[in-house]
Structures are given as C-alpha cells and as structure tokens.
Structure 1
C-alpha cells in the first residue's frame, strides 16, 4: 500500500470465483479465454488454489477448493474491459468459446463468464 498526499493508493489484485469443477474451469479460462495460468497449487487435501490472469490485467481470478464457501455460479456482474470489443469477440470466437452477446459498457465489453450451468459454463 502506498500513501501519497495523505491518501492511500489501493489496487484490486484478486477476485475469487466459486466454481464446481476446477479443472474444467481452468481449461476454459486458459484454453478458450486466453488467461495465463499463474499458479496451480494444492498443498493439502481439501485445498487447491488456481490463479489465472487475463491478458494485460493487473487483477487475477482464483478458483479452487477450500477458498470460499460461496455457491458455484453465484458470482455475478464482473466486467472484463477491452479496448476493441469487436476484436475481443473475434478472438473469443476463434478460440471456439461459446459466449453470450457482447454488450458495450463504456469503452469495453460486458459479457458473462458463468461459473456453472448454461451455455459455455466451465
């Protein structure tokens, strides 16, 4: 944390996404959505953390076992912001990722990356 001019400078680094199937979800994020696999670590039975980062992002997502008691699929309304929504859509289509409609949200795209159930869900 950096304190500058009396104000604290903070950054969001990780969002935990509750999923039902860690391996399948990891494959969707890396192989189809182009996220980098930063960590896949299981130090003990009942605990595993997989950290994935979207290209160009300073914030990562974590999926795994024993990270949260939230219900898989319960996380809603995260936005993946891109500079060129049409290019991002083409890139996802090129990876054969089933996707919902892209929606303009300011300068980027809003879409769903569901954690379980429904088309394209990990």
Structure 2
C-alpha cells in the first residue's frame, strides 16, 4: 500500500478521540503512504495508506499498540504482553477540523477529529 508519491493529506495532525470509556489526544504524521503516531495514553500507531481511485479519500490500515497496563478509551485494558489491533481508517482528503469521523475498531467504536498542523 505504501507509495513514494506525496498526497494532499500528507502532514502533521493533532487528533482528538472519544470512546465509550474516555477521551484522548494524539499526534500523527501522514507522509508518502506511511502513517505513524502516538496518543496521550502511550498508544502507538503504525500503518500505511493510499488514495482511493477517485482521489477523494485515503484508506489506511493502521496497527494500534496500546501501552501495557493502560485502559483504552474503548474500555479495553492492555495485557502485560504487547499486542495490538488492526484499525481500518477512511478519511476524506479535504476535511474541516470540526468534522467527526467514526472509526470502527475491533475493540470498539471511536469518534475522532483531525486538525492539520502543517504540511509534510
């Protein structure tokens, strides 16, 4: 899925998350088909993304690794062993920072707002 082409979504983002058990904030970098990030609870995000055929969205596959011993905002506690889940993400290439994006994860739904801090 990774490519060496820049996309309109490439950049640094602050993300605001809410789930059934709480809220969090994270920081992400989208660049040339790769995405990495971290959240306030110590969770890590690593993945890849690509533009859809119509060029209006990105589709990403992101591996979320929660911090050991912490509870996620979906209410799931991280075991002593590092684990993680694959999270599908679809975002429009152009969005407003107030847009709420629903993310269906294997450990529960999350609502997210993304605010582009700067281009990469």
TM-score, normalised relative to structure 2:
0.31
Higher strand proportion? 2
Question: Whose radius of gyration is greater, 1 or 2?
Answer: 1
TM-score, normalised relative to structure 1:
0.30
